[in-house]
Amino acid sequence: MNYYGEYVTRLIEQFGKLPGIGGRSAQRLAFYVLNMPKENALALAQSITDARERVKYCSHCCNLTDTDPCPICSSSKRNKNQIMVVESPRDMAAYEKTNDFRGVYHVLHGLISPMDGIAPEDIRIRELLDRINGDTEEVILATSSTIEGDTTAMYIARLIGLRAENVRVSRIAKGVPVGGELEYVDQVTLAQAFKSRLDMNIGKDSDNEDN
Are 33 and 49 in the same domain?
Answer: yes
Cα 95 to Cα 20, 60, 182: the distances in Å are 25, 18, 9
How many domains does the chain contain in total? 2
Are 123 and 163 in the same domain?
Answer: yes
**Model pLDDT for residues 40-76, shown as the tens digit of each residue:** 999 999 999 999 999 999 999 999 999 999 999 999 9
- Does residue 1 lie within any of the structural domains? no
Q: What are the backbone angles phi and psi of residue 38, rounded to the nearest 5°?
A: -55, -45
Are 70 and 35 in the same domain?
Answer: no
pTM of the model: 0.78
Are 43 and 63 in the same domain?
Answer: no
Are 131 and 166 in the same domain?
Answer: yes
**Model pLDDT for residues 93-131, shown as the tens digit of each residue:** 988 988 889 999 999 999 999 999 999 999 999 999 999
- Does residue 206 lie within any of the structural domains? yes
Helix (H) or strand (E) holding 26, with range, is helix 23-35
Name which of 34, 55, 56 is nearest 45 in CA terms: 34
- Between strands 168-171 and 138-141, the pairing is parallel
Q: How far apart are CA 35 and CA 143, in angstroms?
A: 41
Which CATH number do you get for residue 146?
Answer: 3.40.1360.10
Residue type, 168: R
Are 111 and 25 in the same domain?
Answer: no
Range of the domain at 45: 6-54
Are 28 and 104 in the same domain?
Answer: no
Are 125 and 174 in the same domain?
Answer: yes
